[in-house]
Chain A
Amino acid sequence: MKLFSQKGFYNTTIPDIAKAMSMSVGNMYNYFSSKEELAKFAIKYSTNILAQELREINNKDITSKEKIYLFVKNYLKNVQQSPEVIEYFLRVYLSNREVFKQGCEGFLCVGEFVTEVMILLDDGATKKEFREQEFFPAFAMIMGCLGGFAFLSGESVLDKDLLSYSDAVSENIYRALKYDN
């Protein structure tokens, strides 16, 4: 993921990846039949890490507001500690759609994560913590906000530590969703 994120999908070769993994090129092909297949596996792997974390948060007996705060904090920690995971999503997955159109179209490779976002929103709306609205505007607001922050962090333009923005980002997301009294 690091190589793909830094060099770009087309500039990265299987020999580059094999070398970074200290594996022979032949052995790499035992695991992945092509660079495209490796790229698809990588997006499933990286979003499933986020999905697993959000599932654990969704299963907690806390308010939806607290869930948002926890999710944002976890996400920003991921950006800080494993920037390649989010970078891969932004710079490879979103930027090279032709690579992913066979087998990773739509929600196919990111389905588990999208499902957990749905569960978060549905639970909040059921408990009247979130207001009623259409799914995609709510989904895009959350993901756009988080993706934007990962981009700003990747470009090193933030003047403070990334995690210090966690509560402010969470508050913005929560305010966009919260139930109107």
Chain B
Amino acid sequence: MITKNKPTVVWFCAITCNGNTHSLLSANANRFELFLNSFDFIYHPSLTVDKSLDDILAYEEKIDFLLIEGAISSNKDFSTISNDSTFNLLNKLALKSNHIIAVGSCASYGGIHSKFRQNSDVCGLQDALDENILKTLQHEIVNLTGCPVHPEWILQTLFTLKAYGKIALDEVGRPKELYGSLAHHGCTKNEYFEWKIEGKFGQKEGCLFYDQGCRGPMTHSSCNKILWNDISSKTRVGMPCIGCTESEFPRNDMLETKKNIGIPHEVPLGISKRAYLSMSGVAKTFKIDRLHKKLME
């Protein structure tokens, strides 16, 4: 049943839409095959496996990698799995795990579920786990934020931890390699951003920062470096980045840019508003005909 020469992986679905499961199953086929050959993926509630959650809880061996999808709550009135709360199940599973990885924004911070006013008890892993259990882990909790997480981010994190036993994290627990730069990096619309040419939703021309609420220049993610389906990204096809890898996600009015008297309320990360406005004023002075035309007439 369990071949101990490969690290075991358990995927626990807490309060979730299963978006990260969908994302995992959309991974590059070769990479997913390599993952299945390199790890023992012993439990996922949506996949055909020969064990139940109770089997996993009764299993004496430690779980090498516990992946959690979804937010956590101790309130049984709102959510139970096997007649227990996600809070209790998480802590039981965590007690027998070497590594814990939060897969998605809900597992990392509570996500959209934590905005649910009728249950103030919804949170992410860090706030739900017993402090004594955190001390027994071989590694700090890794937060793979995103809605959903890119499948390659999950695989790369698992492979890195398997090979090196550690992974460099930023101050909110995200792998630096994946979240060190901004979604803006690699966006094919950067030239439009440089010259301050506004774009419309769903079009390949124009930048979505000015009107459509694009958060690319202030969101840590590698969406435009590790492409989705190995092909593209939201921003490349005219959908603004909605900042789903940051802790304040989801925000209100995500598809519009908040402005004060026509001036963007927020400017690219780490740049003073005065510097940004000076640069944009100069850039706007020049009308670049090529950038005002359709890419293909």
Contact = CB atoms under 8 A, between A and B. Distances in A.
A111 B265 contact: no
Contacts of A119: 273-274, 277
B282 to A, nearest CB: 6
Given A115-B274, A122-B273, A107 B285 contact: yes
Contacts of B282: 107-108, 111
B274 A126 contact: no
B281 A114 contact: yes
Among A125, A130, A134: residue with most chain B CB under 10 A: A125
A53 interface: no
Interface stretch (B6-14, B22-30, B255-263): B255-263
Contact of B285 (A108, A121, A122): A108
B3 interface: no
B261 A122 contact: yes
Interface string B261-286: 11101000000011001100110111
Nearest to A135: B262
Interface string B19-41: 00000000000000000000000
A105 interface: yes
Interface residues of B, number: 15
A163 interface: no
A138 interface: yes
Contact of B281 (A115, A125, A130): A115
Contacts of B260: 121-122, 124-126, 130, 132
Given A119-B277, A122-B273, A107 B284 contact: yes
A133 B281 contact: no
A31 interface: no
Contacts of A108: 282, 285
A105 B260 CA distance: 26
Interface residues of A, number: 23
A118 interface: yes
Contacts of B263: 118, 121-122, 125, 135
B278 A121 contact: no
Contacts of A133: 261-262
Nearest to A104: B285
The interface centre, meaning the residue of A106, A108, A118, A132 with most chain B CB atoms within 10 A of its CB, is A118
Q: A107, A108, A114, A132 — which one has the most chain B CB atoms within 10 A of its CB? A: A107
B280 to A, nearest CB: 9
B283 to A, nearest CB: 10
B262 A111 contact: no
Nearest to A112: B278
Contacts of A125: 260-261, 263
B263 to A, nearest CB: 4
Contacts of B274: 115-116, 119
A78 B284 CA distance: 29
A106 B262 CA distance: 18
23 contacts: A106-B284, A106-B286, A107-B284, A108-B282, A108-B285, A111-B278, A112-B278, A115-B274, A115-B278, A119-B277, A121-B260, A121-B261, A122-B261, A124-B261, A125-B260, A125-B261, A126-B260, A132-B259, A132-B261, A133-B261, A133-B262, A134-B261, A135-B262
A6 to B, nearest CB: 30
Contacts of B284: 106-107
Given A119-B273, A119-B274, A122-B273, A111 B261 contact: no
Interface in B229-268: 259-263, 265
Contact of B262 (A114, A115, A124, A134): A134
